Chains A and B, each alone.
Chain A
Amino acid sequence: MTDRGGVLEIWGYRELIGRLVQRELGSRYKRSVLGWLWSMLNPAATLAIYALVFGVLLKFDPPRAGNGRFDNFALYLFCALVMWNAFYGVITGAMSALLDLGSLLGKVYFPPEAPAVAALLTVLFQAAIEASILMLILICLVNVSWTFLLWPVLLLFLAIFALGIGLVLSVWNVRYRDVGYLSTIVLQFLFYVTPIVYPLSLIPERAMGLPVRDIIRLNPLSQFTEASRELLYGLDWPGVLRLGLMALISLAVGAGGWLMFKVRTRDIAEEL
């Protein structure tokens, strides 16, 4: 209790965080016949729908895979979708976790970050499952390289980036529930201005007098989804400069979000 508010404190509450993760994972898919299979069926279904609509019907053309032997839109899509799912999961998870556990904050003390961190870990667990399946398929197709090893690092950066945003949104959401509704809309928009269901090359250089492709490229999320595709599908190195930039952005957003969260949650026990 002496070091209140530091990273060390959150570490001190790892038991609580572990329990929250366990609870989240345990209660998921309760009372369903297929149970845990849903955690794979769900992303698989999403993937199938997008692949059908954008790959088969709209005929978006994926580039050739890194080994030069095939091209497959579903896999190309999957590489980016894993990233997006993690981003989306962390943000919505952080928001609902604080609301859900907030009532406890008025009765016992624990770091208010704990629910969000637990949500983050839950999402990372899910992302790890999805990524393992994806990598397994790619390995079966002999599309594999050392670049795979860099992918977890990329996911970590994305997690920090998303957590920073999620923390800020979650604390605003306690005050104004509008934030929750608003962010679903914004996230929906974000999904389509990030190259996930389409390759970036499909976007025209200019539209409505604006350099749209460059604008979309500047979206930090695009960097993550594109880098994920390069690492897993294209077996390509994103380059030190780009990786460094992504690291910098995610650390800045993560730290900034955390600081804002700290200031805003000093009296959160009274607000919830």
Chain B
Amino acid sequence: MGENAVVVEGVSKRFRLTLDRPLSLKEAWTGLRPGSGRSFRRVRSELFWALRDISLEVPRGSMYGLVGRNGSGKSTLLRVMAGIYRPTEGRVEANGRTSALLELGAGFHPALSGRENIYLNASVLGVPKSQIDDRVEQIVEFAGLEEFIDSPVKIYSSGMYVRLGFAVAVHVDPEILIVDEVVAVGDEEFQLRCFSHLESLRSQGVTIVLVSHDLGMLRANCDQMAWLNRGLLAAVGDPQDVVNAYLDTIDTEGAASVGHRPRSDTEGETPLRITNLEFFDGAGHRPKSFASGDPLVVRIHYSASEPVEDPVFSLGFYDHNNLHLAGPRSHVDGFRPGKVDGEGWVEFRLLRIPFRSGAFHVNAAVQDSDASFLYDRRAREFWLQISGEPDPQANGLLNLEGDWRAGV
């Protein structure tokens, strides 16, 4: 028990999806409801397993990340960990005072003022009033709500809600902090402050369980991660491995669905198609992952059913959060492929990969010669994996190859 803050043992959670919940005593009593088609219909419910046999251990003082698609049971698992939901099977042991930030305005009462809600929240978490008195100003300052703190929270914007919720959750001296992906609502500056605060909490020995779609952030900060897929634990352990495994499925699932998807945004048959995208290193090999600073060749394979004069090829590099990083276009770079017909390829060559480690997806598109008509576009299908330990000293997504000088 000593070294684990949270132990989840064989936890399953079943929900009753009441399709026809009895809405009045009469229906509950008779079990019948006047239906629209038939005269009477049984009130029925369906069972849905949100979690199945989940076992994991969160070591004390660690940061634990949870990933998974929407509806994979992440939030349910957090609620079970926080003691809000009772597991249908299995058990959960949380050793320490647990503070949870599960959704917008965690436990806020809309009619109360921000200040009153701080006290209400603190008391819900079992923090004595005297302790909160000292903290209120700190909380207000952290949330940046000095002007609004005595207004009812129902007039707050969603960003203000989250800021206050986060500020309260981290200032009540939790031993275990459970944070759903709500923090993403705040602006960038606030997110940065949140993460640096989480970091400092962890260094004070607070256990943090975190759900996020920001894979890069999770991988860089978590000690361990778990990946939930449709209520099942798909992978657990080292963040790098879990993220890679998770990205792999996205990749393959994405590729699998290509066949059913119209490849072109244009109607009907297009004369020029992009058939594949390949990544080569400097030696002409196709490694599974690249290192930052390596040379990179992106080869765009095309297939033209009729001759096309000087098409424009373009690429788009995006990070895992879909942030557009770069978009080289052939005509802008002064490249004209001439007349293309049948099968062939064009290449984009990069001397040094500027991206730091992570997973990036590369889109490709081809247009007519004056870039006004789109022949074909392939998006979110091709993933470029840049491996390597994230350098804790380095910030940002890109390596800018500049140098520093001093002067007076």
Which chain A residues have a beta carbon within 8 Å of chain B's beta carbons? 1, 4, 12-13, 15-16, 18-20, 23, 27, 101, 104-110, 175-176, 178-179, 182, 266-267, 269-270
Residue A104 contacts which of B22, B25, B109, B111 (CB distance < 8 angstroms)?
B109
Output the nearest chain A residue to B76 by Cβ-Cβ distance. A270
Q: Which of A4, A105, A110 has the most CB of B within 10 A?
A: A110
| Contact of A108 with B107 in the complex, beta carbons under 8 Å | yes
Q: Which residues of B contact A104 (CB under 8 A)?
A: 107, 109, 124
Residue B83 contacts which of A1, A27, A106, A267 (CB distance < 8 angstroms)?
A1
State A106–B107 Cα separation when bound (angstroms): 8
Within the complex, the shortest CB–CB distance from A170 to chain B, in Å, comes to 15
Q: Which residues of B contact A106 (CB under 8 A)?
A: 79, 84
| Contact of A109 with B84 in the complex, beta carbons under 8 Å | yes
Within the complex, the shortest CB–CB distance from B353 to chain A, in Å, comes to 44
- Chain B 94-125 interface mask (CB, 8 Å, partner A; 1/0): 10011010110011010110001001111111
Q: Which of A13, A101, A108, A270 has the most CB of B within 10 A?
A: A108
Interface residues of chain B: helix, strand, loop or mixed (majority):
loop
16 residue pairs from A and B, CB less than 8 Å apart: A1-B98, A13-B126, A15-B126, A15-B127, A16-B126, A23-B116, A27-B111, A104-B109, A106-B84, A107-B84, A107-B100, A107-B107, A108-B82, A108-B107, A176-B25, A178-B25
| Contact of B109 with A109 in the complex, beta carbons under 8 Å | no
- Chain B 22-50 interface mask (CB, 8 Å, partner A; 1/0): 11110010000000000000000000000
- Which residues, 65 to 83 on B, are CB-close (under 8 Å) to A? 79, 82-83
Q: Which residues of B contact A109 (CB under 8 A)?
A: 82-84, 98, 100
Asked if B197 is at the interface (CB within 8 A of a chain A CB), the reply is no
Within the complex, the shortest CB–CB distance from B75 to chain A, in Å, comes to 11
The 8 A-B pairs with the shortest beta carbon distances in the complex, nearest first, are: A16-B123, A108-B107, A15-B123, A109-B83, A19-B123, A104-B107, A107-B107, A178-B25
State A106–B103 Cα separation when bound (angstroms): 10
- Chain B 239-271 interface mask (CB, 8 Å, partner A; 1/0): 000000000000000000000000000000000
Asked if B15 is at the interface (CB within 8 A of a chain A CB), the reply is yes
Q: Which residues of A contact B116 (CB under 8 A)?
A: 23
| Contact of A19 with B120 in the complex, beta carbons under 8 Å | yes
Q: Which residues of B contact A12 (CB under 8 A)?
A: 126
Q: Which residues of B contact A110 (CB under 8 A)?
A: 124
Known: A23-B116, A101-B109, A108-B100. 11 other contacts (CB 8 A): A13-B123, A15-B122, A16-B120, A105-B84, A107-B84, A108-B84, A108-B106, A108-B125, A109-B82, A109-B83, A266-B86
Which chain B residues have a beta carbon within 8 Å of chain A's beta carbons? 15, 22-25, 28, 79, 82-86, 94, 97-98, 100, 102-103, 106-107, 109, 111-112, 116, 119-129
Q: Which residues of B contact A23 (CB under 8 A)?
A: 112, 116, 120
Q: Which residues of B contact A4 (CB under 8 A)?
A: 83
State A20–B120 Cα separation when bound (angstroms): 8
Within the complex, the shortest CB–CB distance from A109 to chain B, in Å, comes to 4
Residue A19 contacts which of B100, B111, B119 (CB distance < 8 angstroms)?
B119
Interface residues of chain A: helix, strand, loop or mixed (majority):
helix
| Contact of A1 with B97 in the complex, beta carbons under 8 Å | yes
State A238–B28 Cα separation when bound (angstroms): 43
| Contact of B25 with A108 in the complex, beta carbons under 8 Å | no
| Contact of B84 with A269 in the complex, beta carbons under 8 Å | yes
Residue A267 contacts which of B23, B86, B103, B123 (CB distance < 8 angstroms)?
B86
State A46–B41 Cα separation when bound (angstroms): 48
| Contact of A107 with B123 in the complex, beta carbons under 8 Å | no
User: Given A104-B107, A107-B107, A109-B82, are A179 and B25 neighbors across the interface (CB < 8 Å)?
Assistant: yes
Q: Which residues of A contact B111 (CB under 8 A)?
A: 27
State A106–B105 Cα separation when bound (angstroms): 12
Output the nearest chain B residue to A269 by Cβ-Cβ distance. B84
Q: Which residues of A contact B100 (CB under 8 A)?
A: 107-109
State A137–B329 Cα separation when bound (angstroms): 93
Output the nearest chain A residue to B88 by Cβ-Cβ distance. A267
Within the complex, the shortest CB–CB distance from A13 to chain B, in Å, comes to 7
State A15–B15 Cα separation when bound (angstroms): 32
Within the complex, the shortest CB–CB distance from B161 to chain A, in Å, comes to 12
| Contact of A18 with B107 in the complex, beta carbons under 8 Å | no
State A125–B293 Cα separation when bound (angstroms): 73
| Contact of B85 with A269 in the complex, beta carbons under 8 Å | yes
Residue B121 contacts which of A108, A266, A267 (CB distance < 8 angstroms)?
A108
Q: Which of A13, A105, A176 has the most CB of B within 10 A?
A: A176
Q: Which residues of A contact B84 (CB under 8 A)?
A: 105-109, 269
Q: Which residues of A contact B23 (CB under 8 A)?
A: 176
State A18–B128 Cα separation when bound (angstroms): 11
Residue B85 contacts which of A13, A108, A270 (CB distance < 8 angstroms)?
A270
Output the nearest chain A residue to B129 by Cβ-Cβ distance. A15
Q: Which residues of B contact A16 (CB under 8 A)?
A: 120, 123-124, 126
Within the complex, the shortest CB–CB distance from A154 to chain B, in Å, comes to 31
Within the complex, the shortest CB–CB distance from A18 to chain B, in Å, comes to 7
Output the nearest chain A residue to B28 by Cβ-Cβ distance. A176
Output the nearest chain B residue to A27 by Cβ-Cβ distance. B111
Output the nearest chain B residue to A18 by Cβ-Cβ distance. B123
Within the complex, the shortest CB–CB distance from A30 to chain B, in Å, comes to 11
Q: Which residues of A contact B107 (CB under 8 A)?
A: 104, 107-108
State A34–B119 Cα separation when bound (angstroms): 28
State A105–B83 Cα separation when bound (angstroms): 10
Q: Which residues of A contact B128 (CB under 8 A)?
A: 15
